[in-house]
Amino acid sequence: MQGAALALAAAGLVPDSEVRLLLLRFRSMVAVAVPLVLLAVGCLAGSGWIAWAASGPERWSAVAGLLAVTTASIAALVTMETVAIHRDQMQPAVHVVLDTYSRYGLSVLRLVNTGGGVARNVRVEWRVPLVVAGKPADRLFCQPVPAILPGRDTHVLVGASHSVVTGNSDRAVSGTTFWEDSSGQQHVQTFQIDTEVLLRALSYDNEEVRTGYELQKIPGVLKSLKVELVRIRQVLEEREAAAPSREPDSP
């Protein structure tokens, strides 16, 4: 299993962080399974000797003891597998995302933690960085982010959607992400962003983003309307003050 995981990592079929989890899980299984197997073999040998030496009820007692040890070993292996799965679910998993959908007309570079644990000291080493305003932005997230909670992200604005996408349409943005889990174990994962897909994608997934953008203009329009109403009121008051007063008609 260890050799297969390393081969998959070398071929680029499995991210480095997943390979590390597979190796950690494999080593944990070996560390627990070997003592259990030795215990089962010892009990089997002892029960076999008792069954060979004894006769009558003692032989069946030895067989019952052997079955009990086998059942306990299987239960221990199942428990170990459950604990390993739970531990994997609690590991942080950080992904680099170029988000052109959440904000209308803007591109946001995000570090998203999709795992179940806190990711610490998250940083990015760029192999092919984003081009922003005609220059490679190879300093983005180069300084470690102290912590990213599960299901949360940290992000930076990289520019307007069309300019960022068209400026990187002829290149595959790639790099390596580094982070640590709560135990201090470092995880490494390579990533690649296909900007050609973003170039051909929709500017936004649904109308809610654009609707929200247009609704944000309402306060400005109301403010302009208020200014015009105040100006009209002032003009009317000035005209009324400048007009000659009329005497009331006598009966």
pLDDT tens digits in sequence order for the chain, 251 residues long: 434 433 434 444 444 555 555 665 666 666 666 666 666 666 666 666 655 665 566 666 766 776 777 777 777 777 776 776 767 777 899 999 888 877 777 888 999 999 888 999 999 999 988 888 778 888 889 899 999 999 899 999 888 777 777 777 666 788 999 999 888 889 999 998 877 777 766 666 666 667 777 788 888 888 888 888 888 888 888 888 877 665 555 55
Distance CA(68)–CA(71), nearest Å, equals 5
The per-residue pLDDT for 34 is 67
What is the chain's Cα-based Rg? 35
The per-residue pLDDT for 42 is 67
Nearest to 154 by CA among 140, 164, 165: 140
The per-residue pLDDT for 178 is 94
The per-residue pLDDT for 175 is 92
* Residue 26: burial class (beta carbons within 10 Å; 0-12, 13-18, 19+): middle
The per-residue pLDDT for 101 is 78
Task: Give the global pTM.
Answer: 0.56
Determine the distance from the C-alpha atom of residue 191 to the mean position of all C-alpha atoms in its chain, rounded to a whole number: 13
The per-residue pLDDT for 219 is 87
The phi, psi pair for 56, rounded to 5°, reads 75, -140
DSSP per-residue string spanning 214-236 = HHTTHHHHHHHHHHHHHHHHHHH
